[in-house]
A and B are shown apart, each in its own frame.
Chain A
Amino acid sequence: MKFFLPAGFSVCCLLSACGRDPVPEPALSAADLRPTRGDTFVEASLGDPSRLNPLLASDSASGSVNGYLFNGLVKYDRDLKLVGDLAEFWTVSPTGLDIVFHLRKNVLWHDGVPLTADDVVFTYQRLIDPKVMTPYGSDFALVKSVTAVDPHTVRVVYKEPFAPALESWGIGIVPQHIFQNTDFNTNFANRAPIGTGPYKFQILKTDEKTVLVANPHYFEGRPNIDRVVIRVIPDSSVQFLELRSQSIDSMGLSPDQYMAYDSFFKHHQKFRYPSFSYTFFGFNLQRELFKDLRVRQALSLALDKREIIDGVLLGYGRSATGPFPPSSWAFDPTVPELLFDPVRAKALLAEAGWRDTDGDGVLDKDGKPFAFTVITNQGNKMREQTAVILQAHLARVGIKVEVRVLEWSSFIHDFVDKGNFDAIILGWNLGRDPDQYLIWHSSQKGEGRYNFIGYQNPLADKLWEDGRRTFDQRERQVIYRKLHRMLAEDLPYIFLYYPEALPTVHKRFQSVIVAPAGIGWNFREWYVPKSLQRYRLAS
């Protein structure tokens, strides 16, 4: 099999003393500033990809591999604007119910078969097929029909207006000719995928590595980097050691790794930018304890978020005010934050009837102490630490909090899904579209759904519905900013923080540019000057 060999200088570097003696970075000559082809990008992943099929994959390991292999009809560009991917352009009818995608005509599947509108129709049919184990069906529930008008035109008709519709077509399109008349869930191609993306699948070794090679026929042009290897290294501190010994080129750092000695990053460049996620402290609103808004306000005032962010994220994050991250257009910067004020917190609690009548340091009301349990999942150190800090903060105002850290499976099944908790610390990974109907709408209460705190507010319901129905971004912005303010005042969650993404990339890679979309949006253009290349292809 064709694989890559470290180029001469790298062999001795890999095998001998490279960790001890830094190899001086040769100065770049003018010729090196022109993009060249070659070299390999070695990434680390904590988990093993399960299914290399964009419709079936729900784990981030599979997701990041699929990103190299598949294309959607649309994608987000560097500024998080939707642009065409497999679709060259599209038209939306004035009602918003009718979208026509015009596909590029020069797209080939990795096996050489041309992409047609039938593939898109097939992908849609699998998304709504009850037998197909996809988690992405809900985005397509409002679709009335998808038809191939001609081999390069797809018409999508919606039952009712659905603003995130366009974004939802960013899902990877799968090849009909591979999956037709086979069991979609168990097809061989789910482990040896055929896509349209800039990289072609080469090999997948379970719990070891996935190897991808540049697609010479990619419709936007062949990527510069010859090969991408995603290595499974299940421990983050070992990943970090592998990074230091230059065995991997890129990993996501934790805040303490990011803050480590500069000498650890001799060969790597660090990046930081806000991620599209937030961590929250949510209340089970079915519990009597949390029904009083003053109580929720008091809890929020009692928390010193600054201390949480400094302690847990080491400062690499931002205090949150609502459900949209600051880099989203839905974010309202004028929403005020409830600043740390334990005195006011105590006053509010007293107003709500909570006083320490028996002098045991814990507030009580009608003979019952103010005590509850906050749950979070095992395996996320930051959430566990947040819980502990929060426990200390609330103890200062006389609230007794117990922390329970639960193994993920029982956490989800027996506690979150069943609404069997007082309070919870968890995080949401967000799409670029601000729609969070699934999290907040009162129709989404119930076992196993995402509104597990039981939030119910007819005004908010209406706004989430409107947000989905409105296409004009400026109008939507007004809606979501109202929601942002409403949730900040209503406090069904205490929005804790927006963490930052802290990736690092080996310095030999050029053209790595941070944009609102993070890094990697222009991966096709990354290159390594010939003199710095570490790996080369055999033959």
Chain B
Amino acid sequence: MGAYLLRRLSLTLVVLVGITLLTSVVMRLAPGGLTGGVTDLSARASAHEQRKKFIALYDLDKPWYVQYGRWLKRLSRLDFGRSFKDDRPVLEKIGERLPNTLLLNFLSLGLVFLVAIPVGVLAAVKQNTFWDRAVSVFVFVGFSVPTFWLALMLMILFGVNLGWLPLSGLHSLNADEMSFAAYGADMGKHLILPVLISTFTGLAGLSRFVRNGLLEVIRQDYIRTARAKGLPESRVIFHHALRNALLPVITILGLSLPDLIGGGFIFETIFAFPGMGRLGFDAIMARDFPVVMGVGTIAAFLTLAGNFLADLAYAAVDPRIRLSGKR
């Protein structure tokens, strides 16, 4: 197992460096160049002059491999550099977004699992009945509906017309002077709509997966055996079938880890949510290389870590995988 771990880890490191190299090359190859987020021209201010100074100061006139080499060297000291936009350390910028994104995604991913598994089981057990179809329609509506439209509609309903929920942002204006409990409650209120919507739109994949997995398992001999033994149907489904059907879900969970730090740009824009999606998107649009590289590296790192963990977990729960390595 030790050798396996080591091999797996070193491979991961190579892939990580490869990803940063690719990101770097793609960013340089992309058309355009350094511009602020400013999309208007003013007759009095010469953005051109500012840009020229900028390019010289930040070595942007050097070939990409020189820049990449310098970036790698800084990275070895865990220095991600500073954003071109506001000159703040990239790590600090990521650091203030990551918790928000993690919170939102943990909540919605948790809810997705909580809802999708029972829903998938229901659809499988009641295959080809009204329930199966109703569930399918429900999850596919969630999958197909444009997030921004649904978000706006719910905002109008709950925010503007009923006035129950705040519309956007993560805190009320006076949040900084609230007590800790009130602060948490305020944040919870702001999170309801985003979490519900991202859960609803994310149900389809997992619930279908559970449904099909379970349907496959139900046809196995050991299930027939369990039924033949006269076990109650609930025990057959939940004890014998579901446990095996859920095995692949571990892989999905592992693959979902990068989603935890990735944020949807449109989603975050609609909710004025200060998360990773907007940070990365704005950085790409403004060609803010240090931020793009920083976000890319951290996302790549977490993706690889997620895959790695999923592999380990899989090996732990599935003897077939654990043992095949030994042969």
Contacts and interface: CB of A to CB of B under 8 A. Distances in A.
Given A58-B50, A245-B159, A449-B48, A4 B40 contact: no
A131 B53 contact: yes
Interface in A204-258: 205-209, 229, 231-235, 237-238, 241-242, 244-245, 247
A368 interface: no
Interface stretch (A13-21, A308-316, A352-360): A13-21
B87 A186 contact: yes
B49 A409 contact: no
A426 B41 contact: yes
Given A19-B161, A244-B160, A413-B31, A428 B287 contact: no
A431 B272 contact: no
B56 to A, nearest CB: 9
A429 B43 CA distance: 6
B269 A234 contact: yes
B57 interface: yes
Interface in B266-311: 269-272, 274, 278-279, 285-287
Contacts of B97: 207
A6 interface: yes
A142 interface: no
B173 A408 contact: no
Interface string B35-70: 111111111111111111110010000000000000
Interface string A335-366: 00000000000000000000000000000000
Contacts of A134: 50
Given A6-B174, A135-B50, A429 B287 contact: no
Interface in A366-421: 377, 379-380, 407-414, 417
Given A133-B54, A408-B35, A238 B173 contact: no
Nearest to A21: B163
Interface string A436-447: 101100000000
Interface residues of A, number: 80
A413 B41 contact: no
Given A58-B45, A232-B272, A235-B272, A377 B39 contact: yes
Interface in A78-121: none
A42 interface: yes
A535 interface: yes
B169 interface: yes
B155 to A, nearest CB: 6
A438 B164 CA distance: 52
A237 B287 CA distance: 26
A16 B164 CA distance: 6
Interface string B10-42: 000000000000000000001111111111111
A436 B174 contact: no
Contacts of B279: 207
A525 B31 CA distance: 48
A135 B46 contact: yes
| Residue of B30, B163, B271, B285 contacting most chain A CB atoms (<10 Å) | B163
Given A19-B161, A136-B46, A380-B39, 6 more contacts: A135-B49, A205-B274, A241-B152, A428-B41, A430-B44, A438-B46
5 contacts: A6-B174, A20-B163, A133-B50, A238-B167, A417-B48
Interface of A: 1-6, 14-20, 40, 42, 47, 50-51, 58-60, 130-139, 185-186, 190-191, 203, 205-209, 229, 231-235, 237-238, 241-242, 244-245, 247, 377, 379-380, 407-414, 417, 426-431, 436, 438-439, 448-450, 535, 538
